[in-house]
Structure 1
Amino acid sequence: MATSATSFEPTATHIDIDAGNADTDNQLPPLPSPLPTPHPDFIHCNPPHDPTYRAHSVFLAGSIEMGKAINWQRHLSTSLSPLPITILNPRRGHWDAMAKPTPQDKTFRTQVEWELGALENASVIAFFFDKNTLSPVSLLELGLWARSGKVVVCCPEGYWKGGNVRLVCEREGVPCVTSFRELVPEVVRMLKSKGLEVPEGVKF
């Protein structure tokens, strides 16, 4: 599985946000065993490095909350890895806890600008709202892109603003499912509607 190369070395001020919280509510289904074989042209990109875009790409919008959310991004990336696509994953592994959420902070600005650029260039934007998070930035992003014709949403029962999310999706004609198991085929369906040819023998 191709990934963005990095020589990053975390320091004492960095926190690991990749692990994510334990999936105590079973929001994610088990991954298949053995794991799917990645397509030779599949690539997984994280900030701060510039993405390498294939003809089709998926931005993983949704819950992170500094690692408090379950790592659904890893799960979706693995599930979609048999496709010749770029995964745009804003969960960057280690985050500098000293960074301030202001436009003047270089680390923060780099992260936000990476996300805004990737959202704009993605073929599909896949949202997952972890029911145990607030995810205000994800709500902002959904509002920005709901009318783009490239959004798919998974909003499990119990998410605190689930009613708002579902009504926005209903109004704007956005596919919205309640389980992660339904999210993967919806993302693939939208990719196919935008011209992606699924390799022979690959099923979702």
Structure 2
Amino acid sequence: MKSGRSPSARGPRATEPAGSVRIIGGRWRNTRLPVPDRPGLRPSSDRVRETLFNWLMPKLAGARVLDAFAGSGALGLEAVSRGAAQAVLIERDVGLAGALGQVVGRLGAESQVRVEAADVLAWLANSPTGRFDVVFLDPPFAEGLWDAALRVLPRHLSDDAWIYVESPRDLAPDVPPHWLPHREGQTRDVRYALYRVPAGQGAATLRGDSHRPDSA
């Protein structure tokens, strides 16, 4: 569930009233996350998220997660609920980022979850190189940010990273050619796909590094 971090429309269901979305599994199962009434904030269905986390479940234990365009934070928080070690949630809308910080505090997850009130593209381009094992990339549909995000994302990937990409049903973003498609699915409105970066093709290899930094 991601927002545009700007007041533009973000694809189907952009005008839904305020509500909530639940964490589906793990230690925070059935916890409700607020969905403010924001133009461009588009809830992903429970079915899509359940399918995604079934795909990812063997990869989550101890993983470092990046939830770009975080919105309600449902994907990043679900990942930690299901066993990921750490998550960074990036959200440009200051109000939404503040709400995410409150949720993290309510869950007592400050040691595992960091919320960044920042523009995703600027953060990816300018922050120190990270080593994320799982990345959720679900930008606002109306802003067409897939190509720009995919250009700057690789420097933040660990070897054998997994990347989830959500887009309109009729749009398949151009991912780097060495990324391996793992699974994909569709709803009436959305295409969702999971890719794997082959071992040896992560940021450490691309930069010639031989170590894995402790923090992003």
TM-score by length of 2: 0.39
Higher relative contact order (CA 8 A, sep 6+): 1
